[in-house]
A and B are shown apart, each in its own frame.
Chain A
Amino acid sequence: MSAFAILLTAALLGFGIRNLRWLKGFAFAAILTAAFFALASPPISGYTADTLSAFFGRLMLLTLAAVILGETERINIVQTLFIGAAGFLLLQSTTLLAFVLAFETLSILSFILVARMQNASQAEGAVKLFIAGAVATGLIMLGLALFTLSGHPLNAPLNAPLGVLESIGLWVMLAGLFYKLTIVPMHGWAADSYALVRPAHAAILSGIAKTVVVVALFRLFDAWLIVSPLSINILLALAIATMTLGNFMALFQQRLGRILAYSSIAHAGYMLLAIAAVKSAYAPAGLLYLAVAYLFMQTALFLLLDRLGNGLSDLDLNDIKGLASRDRFAAFYLSVQLFSLAGIPLLAGFLGKAVALFAVVDAGYWPAALIALLNSALSVGYYAWIVKQLYFDDAKAKTRLTALTAAPAFAQLILLAGTLYFGIAAFSIFAVAF
């Protein structure tokens, strides 16, 4: 019994359950069982469960449970289980072939997820995601083909010295992966897609799938990156460009979805910086911390937007003016997660950035860490601006917002607990990463 098999079976069986409550109960039971068996490896070559995959996989399941808790459509719950299964598979991949197979499965499931749309703008977001995904897949396949040409076995780990052709192949693959991870200059699609698709779907794409890919990518590629100094320099440059552009663009947005989308791009830059710090012993902990923090923060924010906007994706700053006077809990959840994204202490976002950027300094790239820290300070400009709308502005007489009901509020509490817990309790992450 492995977590992947349990979630896959649950997803398939879930098609047959017509009652929403029953389906939710069944999904929670499946998630609990999968979490219990997170350390069991699937009986497929190239996939091995370890403490890292089990740790991050369990946290992923917790956020998926929060997604399911606030979900109102049966099909989305089933798809969330599928994504959980693919996420586990990706986290457990130990070879290039296994990684690509799991990654593509996750991509296809993402396309199916966003294909369920309510209006034209969500269709636009879905199409852009599909096109970007197709380009990424094309690049990954090209990279894989180049890598295969060298004769290096696809099912071997990447810890042996590699030749030029293999390295070119891996770089082309990384370009494809960076396309999905919204690294500049391959970020353009994300600002639209994340902002246009249903926010609950954006929570899965940007909050859950992205972090799973980053953690799995680091696990697989770190051995190669350590012995490839040129790669580190390229990664540093890309990371700086990504975080800077993401933060500057976010400053000028009005729509909340787009602010979060650009914030997501900026965070991809921070994560890439942690990957570039691979030669520091703290890099695994830094990246893992950043990914864990981001998993909770971003998922919580997009889910909150989804419920406040009743599934619509066009909320802007005017819509949330004075929210604190109307729904103080929703305003509180939003503010805490935004402050966490901004890197305010005692919240997970701070320690995530702190450990990751310490790894960057430890690796000897303190100017890059300085740029990242200044970027983080810049980002306060737009996060605090949202908080300003929530608390300091007067509420409009007419509002498009819907009140937060019990289930989504409980989901927010779960995610808030994660953000607060990892804001102080760093030992669990260090125990896994060291």
Chain B
Amino acid sequence: MNPLYLVFGPILLSLIAYISPQGWGKYIALALFGFLMKSSITLYTLLPAHGYLMLGRYLRIDPLGFTLSLQVDQLSVVMLLLTALLLLLVALSSWSVAKNSNAYFALLILFAGPIFGVFMSTNLLWFFIFWELTLIPMFFLIGFWGAERRIYAAMKFFLYTHFASMLILLAFFLIRQQSGVFDMTLVRESMLATPTLIWWLLFIGFAVKMPLFPFHTWLPDAHVQAPAPVSVLLAGVLLKMGAYAMIRMGILMLPESAERFAVILLVIGLITLFYAALMALYETHLKKMVAYSSISHMGLVAVGIATLSASGLSAALFEMIGHALIISPLFLIAGFLHHRTGSWQMKEMSGLMQRAPYLSALFMLAGLAALGLPGTMGFIGELTILLSAIDAYGVVMALVAIGSILSAGYLIRSFRKVLHGECSPLLAQSDLRPDAALLATLVIFAALIVFFGLWPGPLFDLINPVFNGGAL
């Protein structure tokens, strides 16, 4: 299989989906995302025990070292598998999108190519190209299909993340100038003249995408205004792209700088964890509460990354996957409730349990997983990060557990406000029957949360070789 199909195929296919007869876009999207999932599994089976699987080099510009070099290792394939799974579930949960559905699915398809490119490209400049290209479909998806203040959110998202990207590009130029290569697999062996400057440029650039405090302000707006399936992509894929880049470049590519500045990442991760949790605690807007919960969990991921140990990084990767699977149903349910009731306020949705018991059960399951209930993925992720952090930085890291207490606070509060109590008039007059595709999506998410919560072994088998294979 030519790997170019995976990165450029979706870009061309998005045009076909756009001009195809109305209603065909969703089928094209589903077929493509299925193909991407199958290809990701194939890549997994082909991986060597250590190092990269070379897929090909294309478009060589030798004087600049600008070559589309496509290679994958365990870390990239884990991200590819997660992305393909989420794309499939997002397509499924978007099945009832009626407004310009072909354009909507064409943009989802357009998003798939660059995101695969990000995880497959080992050339820094091409990595950046794919990184930036993800902005365009997201900009249109938020700006066209979003809620009331969608245009503001789309512009803010675009500008904020584009500014951060410029820092990343400058870092890549400095790396190329000082090491003579754009190939991220070779940079580790090079002597860089200004590693501190490069690390900080990359750190800020990736911190915006993850997002970490104080670079997070674009995300609550983007999440609130984006349609629910796009929020899933934002939280499940785009934020993970930031965390992936932080691991791949901030840690694995620049190990010496990472060691020097790990404490800064740790402190910022902790601040993000607590700040976002406190913001969620005071939030009455359901989707915004979920958005802050998402940011708080990314703070936890940052703590895991900051341990710099194989176990900590594995835990962070597990938490990244867990977070994607846990936060997605919360966003989908919040979006569904807003779509049907017209309100974002939790107090106007009280009594959901009486009107929609299955939906409430799924909301509760995802919420409990988010607060780290044993038996769910959330518990495994939080526990392993906690243990790794204590192992790396001492008992003081037990304060990470306070983050879980705070998340229990805002999530249980949301259960009380939304699920229990008298059925609100707004809820009473709304049709709360989800369509079959959305329900199926939520059930798949719930099953995965519980399955990997009870039986995390297979997922750790997939993740552990990423950092135990000498990458560190």
Chain A residues proximal to chain B, CB less than 8 Å: 282, 285, 339, 344-346, 350, 354-355, 357-358, 361-362, 366, 369-370, 373-374, 376-377, 380-381, 384-385, 388, 391-392, 424-427, 430, 434
Contact = CB atoms under 8 A, between A and B. Distances in A.
A366 B173 contact: yes
A361 B177 contact: yes
Contacts of B135: 344
Nearest to A375: B166
A430 to B, nearest CB: 5
Nearest to A286: B64
Given A344-B136, A350-B129, A374-B163, A361 B173 contact: yes
Q: What's the dominant secondary structure at chain B's contact region?
A: helix
Interface of B: 11, 59-61, 63-64, 66, 125, 128-130, 132-133, 135-136, 139-140, 143-144, 150-151, 154-155, 158-159, 162-163, 165-167, 169-170, 173-174, 176-177
Q: Which of A345, A355, A380, A385 has the most CB of B within 10 A?
A: A345
B140 A344 contact: no
Contacts of A388: 143, 151, 154-155
A425 B130 CA distance: 16
A430 B133 contact: no
Sorted nearest first, the 5 A-B pairs with minimum C-beta distance are A373-B166, A345-B129, A361-B173, A377-B163, A377-B166
A361 B166 contact: no
A426 B66 contact: yes
Q: Which of A282, A339, A344 has the most CB of B within 10 A?
A: A344
A403 B345 CA distance: 45
A427 to B, nearest CB: 6
6 contacts: A345-B128, A346-B133, A362-B177, A373-B167, A384-B155, A385-B155
Contact of A361 (B66, B133, B162, B174): B174
A339 B136 contact: yes
Contact of A430 (B61, B125, B166, B176): B61
B19 to A, nearest CB: 10
A166 to B, nearest CB: 33
Contact of B159 (A366, A369, A377, A434): A377
A82 to B, nearest CB: 36
B143 A391 contact: yes
A396 to B, nearest CB: 17
A166 B66 CA distance: 40
Contacts of B163: 374, 377
Contacts of B167: 370, 373
A345 B144 CA distance: 22
A285 B63 contact: yes
Given A369-B173, A392-B151, 20 more contacts: A282-B63, A344-B133, A345-B133, A354-B169, A355-B64, A361-B177, A366-B170, A366-B174, A370-B166, A370-B170, A373-B169, A374-B166, A376-B166, A377-B162, A377-B165, A380-B162, A381-B159, A391-B140, A392-B143, A425-B59
Contacts of A374: 163, 166
Contact of A380 (B59, B66, B150, B159): B159
A339 B158 CA distance: 12
Q: What's the dominant secondary structure at chain A's contact region?
A: helix
Contacts of A391: 140, 143-144
A361 B154 CA distance: 31
A56 to B, nearest CB: 18
Contact of A426 (B61, B136, B169, B176): B61
B57 to A, nearest CB: 13
A425 B68 CA distance: 12
Contacts of A339: 136
Contact of A358 (B11, B64, B130, B162): B64
Contacts of B173: 357-358, 361-362, 366, 369
A430 B132 contact: no
Contacts of B66: 426
Q: Which of A357, A361, A369 has the most CB of B within 10 A?
A: A361
B170 A373 contact: yes
A333 B282 CA distance: 46
Given A384-B139, A384-B159, A388-B143, A430 B59 contact: no
Nearest to A427: B61
A373 B60 CA distance: 25
B170 A369 contact: yes
A362 B175 CA distance: 10
Nearest to B68: A424
Nearest to B140: A391
Contacts of B176: 358, 361
B208 to A, nearest CB: 12
B125 A354 contact: yes
A358 B64 CA distance: 9
A282 B176 CA distance: 12
A344 B165 CA distance: 11
Given A384-B159, A391-B140, A391-B144, A361 B60 contact: no
Nearest to B11: A346
A243 B230 CA distance: 35
Contact of B60 (A369, A370, A427): A427
A388 B169 CA distance: 26
Contacts of A285: 63-64
Nearest to B136: A344
B154 to A, nearest CB: 8
Contacts of A425: 59
A392 B150 CA distance: 9
Contacts of B133: 344-346
A154 B170 CA distance: 41
B8 to A, nearest CB: 9
B292 to A, nearest CB: 26
Contacts of A424: 59
Nearest to A383: B158
A361 B129 CA distance: 19
A71 to B, nearest CB: 30
Contacts of B143: 388, 391-392
A427 B67 CA distance: 10
Contacts of A380: 158-159, 162
A354 B66 CA distance: 11
